[in-house]
Amino acid sequence: MTDIDEIGKTVDYCSRAMALMARFGIDPHPVHYEVWYTYAAGTNADLTRAIDNHLQKNGNAITGEVSETLWRQYCGRHATNEAIEQASEQMAGHIDRIVEHLERAAHDSNAFSNALEGVTSSVEGETDPAALRTVVARLVDASRKMEAKSRALETELETSVTEIKRLRDTLETTKREATTDTLTGLANRHYFEEKLQRAVREAVENKQQLSLILGDIDHFNAFNETWGHLTGDQVLRLVGGCLSENVKGRDIAARFGGEEFAVIFPQTGLKGARIVANHIRQTVERKKIVKKSTGETLGRITMSFGAVEYHAGERMGDMLQRAERALRVAKMRGRNITVGEDELGQDATVPPPASASVRGAA
């Protein structure tokens, strides 16, 4: 392929990316542009699949917030790793300098001790005033030099320690941003999957129980269409707060994607997971949705949950599939309920009711 062909393809991808952002009303921010250029070019299969699934599930609509989340999950990992590596290298450099400072301080201290020993030897038996003044002058000079070196060392150490603290904060912030969903403050999908894999390994190694719930906001697409995506984001933040309120300790709550949420329950069986799912569901149902711009009450929202327990020997994907199936059954049985995997053998063909879960909305 010629350079002209490559340029032509690049221009085509740029045009398609800009057209997609304009179509969905997404600001042409560099982060958003990277997502949609990558999508147009088809160079990241996971990103392409995630966008296609979101569009199919959400009535061919997507927001800038979702675009940013997708960047963090599928595009921003390399940048995050680079930032962490750079901060780590800088921190290591400062630590090396601190070691050098301390080694130099030890050398200076030995030199000062040797000088004192020399002064002591010179003073012993000496009675001549002039000679004593010379010895004292040497002592004062050595003391002043040592004091100056001590002050310089203290300044250098303070500078290095301050920089190390700054770099440590940078590392913590970078790691937190890499694992957190920016809209809800919960763990993001990538972090959730890492933690679930670890939880599965620990459950197998320690022969402990492990459970998982997968939840979905009922009729969220209809809510977005009625009240707009900004209010929809407000709902997502509210649900994130409800999960944070009810999920404590070693349990991990995450935004699974779109309007789906998940919680990992290490050392917990199906019964315990179902109890927490119902607590979350009831907490969400009690919340009133108020449109911030007008103060208008938009009604209430509900959630449906599927709850499953890990089966020895199964893959993580199998556990997630069962959770998704339990969630679908909860939707078909009328929504605003929790269905455990122990109920999946029952008739799950009952169609969902026509009434919306956003009650009281105009």
* Claim to verify: residue 97 and residue 170 sit in the same structural domain: yes
Please determine, for residue 132, whether its predicted confidence score (pLDDT) is greater than 70.
no
Q: What percent of the chain has pLDDT over 90?
A: 30
pLDDT recorded at residue 276: 96
344/338 Cα distance (integer angstroms)? 12
- Check which CATH number belongs to the domain holding 193 and give it: 3.30.70.270
* Claim to verify: residue 168 and residue 212 sit in the same structural domain: no
Structural domain count, the chain: 3
Q: Which secondary-structure segment (H or E) carries 308?
A: strand 303-309
* Claim to verify: residue 227 and residue 296 sit in the same structural domain: yes
* Claim to verify: residue 230 and residue 334 sit in the same structural domain: yes
pLDDT band at 177 (very low <50, low <70, confident <90, very high): low
User: Phi-psi region for residue 249, left (φ > 0), alpha (ψ -120 to 50) or beta?
Assistant: left
* Claim to verify: residue 248 and residue 298 sit in the same structural domain: yes
Q: Which secondary-structure segment (H or E) carries 340?
A: strand 338-340
* Claim to verify: residue 232 and residue 294 sit in the same structural domain: yes
Full residue range of the structural domain in which residue 41 is found: 3-62
pLDDT recorded at residue 93: 65
* Claim to verify: residue 81 and residue 56 sit in the same structural domain: no
* Claim to verify: residue 304 and residue 202 sit in the same structural domain: yes
* Claim to verify: residue 233 and residue 339 sit in the same structural domain: yes
pLDDT recorded at residue 97: 65
Q: Which of 179, 200, 220 is the last residue of a domain?
A: 179
Output the pTM of the full model: 0.56
Is residue 84 one of the residues assigned to a domain? yes
Is residue 351 one of the residues assigned to a domain? no
User: Phi-psi region for residue 310, left (φ > 0), alpha (ψ -120 to 50) or beta?
Assistant: beta
Is residue 280 one of the residues assigned to a domain? yes
Q: What percent of the chain has pLDDT over 70?
A: 67
* Claim to verify: residue 146 and residue 256 sit in the same structural domain: no
Is residue 68 one of the residues assigned to a domain? no
* Claim to verify: residue 197 and residue 217 sit in the same structural domain: yes
Distance of CA 11 to the CA centre of its chain: 34
Token digits of residue 56: 């199919």
Task: Give the mean model confidence (pLDDT) for residues 123-140.
Answer: 62
Task: Give the mean model confidence (pLDDT) for residues 62-84.
Answer: 71
263/243 Cα distance (integer angstroms)? 8
Average pLDDT, the chain: 78
Cβ of 93: how many Cβ atoms within 10 Å? 14
Nearest by Cα to 61 from 48, 74, 51, 50: 51
* Claim to verify: residue 165 and residue 244 sit in the same structural domain: no
12/2 Cα distance (integer angstroms)? 15
